Amino acid sequence: MDRMLKALSLVLSYPTAELQRAMPEIGDVLVGDARLEPSIRAALGMLAAGLEEDDLYDLQERYVMLFDRSRTLSLNLFEHVHGESRERGGAMVSLIETYRAGGFEPATTELPDHLPVLLEFLATRPTRETQETLADAAHILDALTKRLERRESRYAAVFAALSNLAGGDADADAVAGMLAQPDDDPTDLAALDAVWEETEVTFGPDPNAGCPQVRDMLAVMDKPAPQHRSV
C-alpha cells in the first residue's frame, strides 16, 4: 500500500471535520516520504497545516471555488483530455474496467476519472504501474500545478508531488497548450452556468462521501495491498 498516494487522495478530497482531525497523521505521511524533493515536502506540510487549522467553512468554500467552479482546474482528468467529446465515454468505460480488474470498486458518486479516486486505486498498484499512469497524465499535472501557483493556492504542492512521483518530464508543448486556455473566473456565475449547461455531467466534490472515505482510508494505511477493494 502506497501511503503517500493515499494521503494525497485524502488531501484532494472535499474538506470535512473528520479530514481535519486526521490531518496530523496525513501530514506526517506527506512530509516523511523521501521520494519527494525537500521543497515539495515542505509545501505539503504547509498545506496539511492549513487544512488542519483553518476554518472548515473557509476551506470548503476555497475548495469549491477552485475545483468545482473552475473547469480548467477540474479534478476529473478526462475533462482536460476529451472535454465533452464522445471519446470521453469510451475512456470512462475503459477506466472502470481497469478498476474492476484490479478488484477496486470506488465507494463514491464521483466519476471514475476523479483524481482522488484514481489515486486511491493507484495506491494499491505496483510502483511501475503507478509511475506509468502518472507519467501519462504528467502534462495535466504540470499544467494544474502552474494554474494553482498563479492563484497562490497551496494545493499546487499536491500536483507537484504527483509530477515528482511520475518521474521524467512532461511534454512541454502539451503543457503550453493547456496553459494557453484562459483561466475560468469562478466568480462569474453567468458564464459558469453557460458552460455547465453544455453537459449533464456534474463535476465537483461529493460531501456525503467525504467522511467514510477518510475513516476507511486511514484504517488501511498500514495494511498490505488488498486483493479486493480496501475502502
On the 0-12 / 13-18 / 19+ scale of CB atoms within 10 A, 213 is: buried
Contact 179, 145 (CB under 8 A): no
Tens of pLDDT, residue by residue over 88-142, are 777 888 899 999 999 998 877 888 999 999 999 999 999 999 999 999 999 999 9
Residues 227, 10, 168, CA angle at the centre, nearest 5°?
80
Going from N- to C-terminal start, the domains of the chain cover: 3-219
Report residue 84 as a C-alpha cell.
Answer: 465533452
User: Region 186-200: what's the mean pLDDT?
Assistant: 51
Residue 192 pLDDT > 70, yes or no?
A: no
Contact 217, 6 (CB under 8 A): yes
User: Region 34-42: what's the mean pLDDT?
Assistant: 96
Residue 83 pLDDT > 80, yes or no?
A: no
Quote the pTM value.
Answer: 0.79
What pLDDT does 193 receive?
54
Residue 15 pLDDT > 70, yes or no?
A: yes
- Calculated CA dihedral for residues 36, 39, 42, 43, nearest 10 degrees: -100
The amino acid sitting at 73 is L
User: Region 19-48: what's the mean pLDDT?
Assistant: 97
What share of the chain has pLDDT > 70, as a percent? 77
